[in-house]
C-alpha cells in the first residue's frame, strides 16, 4: 500500500476514533451540565481535569515512544524490537500508574482542601482508581497507532464509549450523582483493556508483555526518547490541554471551572478534533519514512497536511466565533452564557495549533523532540505567569487570555523549525487564499445570522451555508488542485458502503468544479 493511501486510510479510522470520543464526551458534558447545574458541573469538570493531570505523570512519554519507535522498527522489519518496545511500555506504565494511585489516595485530604472541596475527599480517591484502566487504554491505542492499525483503536473506542455514555444516562435518569458517574467510567475503561488485549494478540504474542523488560542499547535509546517526550508532553499539556484549570480551581473554584470547561470542550470538539486526527496519523507516517531515509516524502507529507489543516481549521474558527452565542444558548442553556466569550477567545489559539500540527509531527517524526521541550519550557513559564496574574483578578476570562498567548507563539516557532528541517517554505499563497475565503464566508454568515433570532435556526441554516461558501471559494481561488482529488479518493478504501457512496458523490462534484476552473484558465 502506498504512503498516501496508508495515511488516507489511517486518517479515516483515526477520525472515527477521535470523532467518536469527541461526540460521546461532548454528549456526556452537555447531559451532566444540564443535570448537575453550574456549581456541581464545575466540581465534576475539575475532577476529570485532575484525572488527566495525574495521567500526565503516569504516562512517562511511553505513548509517544511506542507510536514513533514501533513504526520505525516496522520500517526496519525488526520484529524482536517491536516486542521489546511493547514489553518496556507496559511494565513502566504499570509502575508509574501504581505510584500515582498510592500518592493520590494517601494525600486525598490535602488535594480536596487545596482546591476548595474539603467535603469531597472520597471523590479524589475514586479519581485515583480511574488512573490504571485509563492509562492502559491509552497505551493500547498508542501501540495500535505504532502498527498503523488504527482500525483496532477504533474498535476499542466504539466498544467502550457508547457503554459509558449509556451508563451515565442511566445514572442521570435514576437521579444519582458524581460518584456513580465515576464508577461507570471505571467500568467502561476496564472493558477497554480486555478489548485491547484481545486485539493486541493478533499483532504480537501476549507473553511478550509479561516477560521481564531488558534495556538493550536500542531500548535505552527508546527509553531516553520517552523521558524527553514526558517533558514534551508536559509542555504540550500546558499548550493544548486545560492546565489553567489548576489556577481556576485554586482562585475561582465552582462555576468558573464549569464555564471554562464548556468553552474548552466545544473548541476541542471542533478545532481540537482536526488537530488530534492528523497528529497521531502523521507522526508514525513521518517516522516510517525517516526509517527508510526518504526525506523527500517527509517534505511532501508536511506540505500537503499543512494545506489540508488550513482548509479545515481556518473556516471552522471563524464560523465558530460567529456562532458561539447560538451554540452555547441552544446546547447548554442561558445559564451558561458566560462561556460564550471564553469560547470565542479559545477558537483563535486552537486554530493556530491545529494548523501547526503538521510541523509538530515532522519535528517529532525526525526525532527532534528536544526542540519542542526547550521552546516549550520558556512558553510554559510565560503562560504560567500570565495565568496566575490574570486568573486571580479576572477569573475564567483571565484563564482564556493567559493560556492563549503561548498557544499563539508556539505554532510560529514550530513551523519555522520544521520548514528548516524539511528544507522547504510554508505555503504562504495558499494561506492567504484560504484565509480570504474564510473571511468572506464569515462575513456572509454574520450578515445572514443578524436576521435570525432563534439559535436553533441559526445553526441549522448557517453551518451548511458557510461550508458551501467556503469550499466553493477555495475551489474558485484554485487552492484545491487535481493532485488533491487523487489523494482524497484514496480515503474511499477505508469507508463502509453508504458513507463511501456519499463521499464519492461529493468528491465527484468537487472534481468537476476543479476541472472547470482549470479549463477556464486554459481557455483564457
91-145 pLDDT per residue, tens: 877 888 888 888 888 888 877 777 767 777 888 888 888 888 888 888 888 888 7
Look-up of cell digits 441554516? 461
In this predicted structure, what is the pLDDT of residue 11?
A: 64
pLDDT at 436 over 90: yes
Q: How many domains does the chain have?
A: 3
Rounded Cα gap, residues 259 and 323, in angstroms: 17
- Least Cα distance to 315 among 426, 411, 435 occurs for 435
In this predicted structure, what is the pLDDT of residue 206?
A: 76
pLDDT at 237 over 80: no
246 is a domain residue: no
- Least Cα distance to 481 among 311, 242, 251, 270 occurs for 311
Average pLDDT for residues 312-316, to the nearest whole number?
Answer: 87
CB 311 within 8 A of CB 474: yes
Average pLDDT for residues 189-195, to the nearest whole number?
Answer: 89
Question: Kind and range of the H or E element at 127?
Answer: helix 121-146
516 is a domain residue: yes
pLDDT at 427 over 80: yes
Q: 223 and 311 in one domain?
A: no
In this predicted structure, what is the pLDDT of residue 522?
A: 46
Q: 208 and 95 in one domain?
A: yes
What residues contact 495, with CB distance under 8 A and at least 6 apart?
A: 12, 503
421 is a domain residue: yes
- Least Cα distance to 257 among 115, 157, 96 occurs for 115
Q: 293 and 182 in one domain?
A: no
CA distances from residue 309 to 182, 276, 339, 340, 358 in whole angstroms, order as listed: 35, 11, 26, 25, 8
pLDDT at 77 over 70: yes
CB 422 within 8 A of CB 298: yes
Rounded Cα gap, residues 98 and 102, in angstroms: 6
Q: 282 and 202 in one domain?
A: no
- Report the sign of the C-alpha dihedral through residues 103, 106, 110, 112, in that order: positive
Average pLDDT for residues 302-322, to the nearest whole number?
Answer: 86
Q: 105 and 137 in one domain?
A: yes
The 10 Å Cβ neighbour count of residue 453 is: 8
CA distances from residue 411 to 102, 342, 520 in whole angstroms, order as listed: 37, 21, 37
Rounded Cα gap, residues 345 and 240, in angstroms: 14
216 is a domain residue: yes
Rounded Cα gap, residues 485 and 263, in angstroms: 35
Please say which residue of 460, 477, 496 terminates a domain. Answer: 460
Q: 138 and 273 in one domain?
A: no
pLDDT at 296 over 50: yes
Q: Which domain holds residue 188?
A: 1-231
174 is a domain residue: yes
- Residue 444 — very low, low, confident or very high, per pLDDT cuts 50/70/90? very high
Q: 216 and 272 in one domain?
A: no
475 is a domain residue: no
CA distances from residue 146 to 303, 335, 429 in whole angstroms, order as listed: 22, 44, 34
More confident call, 209 vs 102: 102
| % the chain with pLDDT above 90 | 5
Rounded Cα gap, residues 115 and 79, in angstroms: 47
361 is a domain residue: yes
Q: 503 and 440 in one domain?
A: no
Average pLDDT for residues 214-241, to the nearest whole number?
Answer: 68
- Least Cα distance to 64 among 272, 375, 208, 280 occurs for 280
In this predicted structure, what is the pLDDT of residue 29?
A: 81
DSSP single-letter state for residue 493: G
Nine cell digits for residue 16: 472515527
| pTM, 2 dp | 0.68
Q: 281 and 215 in one domain?
A: no
What is the average pLDDT score of the chain? 79
CA distances from residue 255 to 29, 175, 326, 352 in whole angstroms, order as listed: 14, 21, 20, 28
Q: 304 and 223 in one domain?
A: no
Render pLDDT for 249-282 as a digit per residue (tens, 0 to 9): 777 766 788 888 888 878 877 776 665 555 555 5
Average pLDDT for residues 16-23, to the nearest whole number?
Answer: 72
Q: 403 and 267 in one domain?
A: yes
The 10 Å Cβ neighbour count of residue 163 is: 16
Sequential DSSP letters for 399-465: HHHHHHHHHHHHHHHHHHHHHHHHT----HHHHHHHHHHHHHHHHHHHHHHTT---HHHHHHHHHHH
Render pLDDT for 470-490 as a digit per residue (tens, 0 to 9): 988 988 888 877 776 766 666
Please say which residue of 200, 231, 262 terminates a domain. Answer: 231
Core vs surface per residue 262-275: b (16+ CB within 10 A) or e = bbbbbbbbbbbbbb
pLDDT at 332 over 50: yes
In this predicted structure, what is the pLDDT of residue 355?
A: 84
239 is a domain residue: no
More confident call, 367 vs 72: 72
- Residue 425 — very low, low, confident or very high, per pLDDT cuts 50/70/90? confident
Q: 272 and 225 in one domain?
A: no
Look-up of cell digits 456562532? 323
Amino acid at each position: 500500500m502506498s504512503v498516501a493511501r496508508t495515511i488516507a486510510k489511517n486518517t479515516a479510522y483515526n477520525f472515527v476514533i477521535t470523532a467518536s470520543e469527541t461526540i460521546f464526551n461532548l454528549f456526556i458534558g452537555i447531559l451532566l451540565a444540564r443535570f448537575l447545574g453550574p456549581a456541581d458541573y464545575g466540581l465534576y469538570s475539575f475532577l476529570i481535569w485532575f484525572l488527566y493531570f495525574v495521567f500526565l505523570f503516569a504516562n512517562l512519554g511511553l505513548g509517544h515512544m511506542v507510536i514513533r519507535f514501533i513504526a520505525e522498527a516496522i520500517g526496519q522489519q525488526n520484529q524482536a524490537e517491536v516486542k521489546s518496545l511493547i514489553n518496556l511500555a507496559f511494565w513502566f506504565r504499570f509502575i508509574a500508574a501504581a505510584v500515582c494511585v498510592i500518592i493520590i489516595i494517601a494525600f486525598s485530604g490535602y488535594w480536596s482542601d487545596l482546591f476548595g472541596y474539603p467535603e469531597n475527599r472520597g471523590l479524589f480517591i475514586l479519581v485515583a482508581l480511574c488512573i490504571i484502566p485509563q492509562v492502559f487504554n491509552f497505551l493500547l491505542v498508542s501501540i495500535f497507532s505504532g502498527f498503523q492499525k488504527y482500525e483496532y483503536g477504533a474498535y476499542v473506542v466504539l466498544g467502550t464509549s457508547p457503554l459509558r455514555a449509556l451508563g451515565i444516562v442511566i445514572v442521570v435518569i435514576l437521579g444519582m450523582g458524581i460518584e456513580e458517574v465515576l464508577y461507570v467510567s471505571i467500568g467502561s475503561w476496564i472493558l477497554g483493556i480486555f478489548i485491547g488485549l484481545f486485539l493486541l494478540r493478533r499483532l504480537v504474542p501476549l507473553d511478550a508483555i509479561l516477560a521481564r523488560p531488558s534495556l538493550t542499547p536500542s531500548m535505552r535509546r527508546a527509553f531516553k526518547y520517552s523521558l524527553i517526550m514526558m517533558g514534551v508532553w508536559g509542555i504540550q499539556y500546558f499548550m493544548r490541554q486545560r492546565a489553567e484549570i489548576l489556577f481556576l480551581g485554586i482562585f475561582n473554584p465552582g462555576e468558573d471551572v464549569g464555564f471554562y470547561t464548556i468553552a474548552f470542550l466545544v473548541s476541542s470538539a471542533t478545532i481540537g478534533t482536526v488537530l488530534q486526527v492528523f497528529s497521531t496519523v502523521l507522526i508514525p507516517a513521518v517516522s516510517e519514512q525517516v526509517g527508510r531515509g526518504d526525506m523527500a516524502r517527509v517534505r511532501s507529507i508536511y506540505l500537503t497536511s499543512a494545506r489540508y489543516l488550513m482548509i479545515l481549521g481556518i473556516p471552522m474558527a471563524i464560523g465558530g466565533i460567529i456562532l458561539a452565542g447560538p451554540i452555547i444558548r441552544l446546547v447548554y442553556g442561558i445559564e451558561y452564557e458566560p462561556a460564550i466569550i471564553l469560547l470565542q477567545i479559545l477558537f483563535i489559539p486552537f486554530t493556530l495549533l491545529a494548523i501547526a500540527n503538521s510541523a509538530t509531527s515532522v519535528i517529532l517524526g525526525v526525532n527532534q523532540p528536544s526542540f519542542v521541550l526547550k521552546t516549550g519550557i520558556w512558553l510554559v513559564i510565560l503562560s504560567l505567569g500570565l495565568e496566575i496574574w490574570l486568573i486571580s483578578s479576572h477569573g475564567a476570562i483571565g484563564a482564556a487570555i493567559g493560556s492563549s498567548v503561548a498557544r499563539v507563539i508556539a505554532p510560529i516557532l514550530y513551523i519555522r523549525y520544521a520548514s528548516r528541517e524539511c528544507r522547504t517554505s510554508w505555503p504562504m499563497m495558499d494561506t492567504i487564499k484560504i484565509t480570504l475565503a474564510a473571511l468572506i464566508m464569515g462575513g456572509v454568515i454574520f450578515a445572514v445570522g443578524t436576521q435570525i433570532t432563534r439559535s436553533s435556526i441559526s445553526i441549522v441554516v448557517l453551518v451548511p451555508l458557510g461550508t458551501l461558501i467556503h469550499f466553493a471559494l477555495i475551489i474558485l481561488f484554485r487552492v484545491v488542485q487535481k493532485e488533491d482529488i487523487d489523494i482524497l479518493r484514496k480515503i474511499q478504501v477505508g469507508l463502509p458502503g453508504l458513507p463511501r457512496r456519499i463521499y464519492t458523490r461529493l468528491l465527484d462534484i468537487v472534481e468537476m468544479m476543479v476541472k472547470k476552473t482549470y479549463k477556464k484558465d486554459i481557455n483564457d
